[in-house]
């Protein structure tokens, strides 16, 4: 099993540009989570899906952030327009049973 | 949200046991205690979880106080590869999929 796959691993963009982060969960996992990690705020849950349906998006910072899961094997997190304060490492995680979330390697986003 | 308190950092010698403490005085009766760790430049990974009884797996042991207000993650023989940030997390009984990661304990293992 390849584990959770995220792309790109690194993204550098300029303020105002649109950024799309991608995630492929582990096959058979019906939960998918997006987290953001910064030095100041630590690891924060942004949104999670169950069977491709968004269940809780209370952690999404503002309307500039949106997430979709068009099918069981793919999810995107989009930031439009991006701002320097969005610079962080974004992790995707998937889960089959309630106790274990499997995290991807993360995408390091830098907004200049 | 039930909170956890952990020391910011700890240090251990290689091949010695490590006891990582966690306080969770506001834990509710149905909250599970989870431990994850994050190696440098990687995503967090699951270590162990428990409810009331002590638990063992190939990675570690989890000792839970009788009143459940604290727990201890035990690494029986620390290796250099165990240097990581260790997070103690309470699984929210109202929404069991929401994990709240605190600041964790940064473990340094000396050769």
Q: Which long-range contacts (CB under 8 A, 24 or more apart) does A55-63 make?
A: A55/B97, A56/B95, A56/B97, A56/B98
Q: Please state, in angstroms and rounded to a whole number, the distance separating the CA atoms of residues A23 and A100.
A: 18
Answer whether residue B31 shows pLDDT above 90. no
- Taking the CA of residue A89 and the nearest CA in chain B, the distance in Å comes to 10
- A81 cis-preceded (ω within 30 degrees of 0): yes
pLDDT in tens, A4-50: 999 999 999 999 999 999 999 999 999 999 999 999 999 999 999 99
Q: Please state, in angstroms and rounded to a whole number, the distance separating the CA atoms of residues A57 and B41.
A: 26
Residue B93's pLDDT is: 67
Angle at B78 between CA B76 and CA B82, to 5 degrees: 120
Q: Which whole number is the average pLDDT over B98-107?
A: 89
Answer whether residue B1 shows pLDDT above 70. no
Q: Which whole number is the average pLDDT over B87-110?
A: 86
Answer whether residue A60 shows pLDDT above 80. yes
Q: Which residue has the higher pLDDT, A61 or A35?
A: A35
The answer to whether B37 faces chain A, any CB pair under 8 Å, is no
pLDDT in tens, B47-71: 999 999 999 999 999 999 999 999 9
Q: Which residue has the higher pLDDT, B94 or B20?
A: B20
B34: chain A residues, CB-CB within 8 Å: 99
Pick the residue from chain B with its C-alpha nearest to A93.
B43
Nearest to B96 among A42, A98, A100 (CB): A98
């Amino acid at each position: 099993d390849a584990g959770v796959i995220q792309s790109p691993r690194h993204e550098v963009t300029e303020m105002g540009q649109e950024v799309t982060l991608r995630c492929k969960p582990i096959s058979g996992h019906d939960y998918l989570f997006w987290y953001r990690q910064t030095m100041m705020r630590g690891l924060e849950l942004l949104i999670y899906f169950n069977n491709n349906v968004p269940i809780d998006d209370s952690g999404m910072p503002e309307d500039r952030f949106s997430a979709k899961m068009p099918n069981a094997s793919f999810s995107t997190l989009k930031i439009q327009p991006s701002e320097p304060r969005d610079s962080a490492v974004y992790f995707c995680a998937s889960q089959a049973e309630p106790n274990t979330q499997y995290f991807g390697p993360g995408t390091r986003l830098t907004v200049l | 949200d039930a909170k956890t308190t952990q020391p910011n950092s700890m240090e251990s010698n290689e091949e010695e046991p490590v006891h990582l403490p966690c306080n969770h005085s506001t834990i509710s009766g149905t909250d599970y205690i989870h431990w994850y760790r994050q190696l440098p430049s990687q995503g967090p990974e699951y270590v162990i979880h428990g409810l009331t009884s002590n638990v063992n797996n190939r990675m570690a042991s989890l000792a839970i106080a009788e009143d459940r207000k604290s727990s201890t993650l035990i690494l029986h023989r620390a290796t250099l590869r165990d240097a990581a940030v260790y997070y103690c997390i309470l699984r929210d009984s109202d929404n069991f999929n929401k994990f709240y990661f605190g600041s964790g304990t940064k473990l340094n293992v000396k050769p």
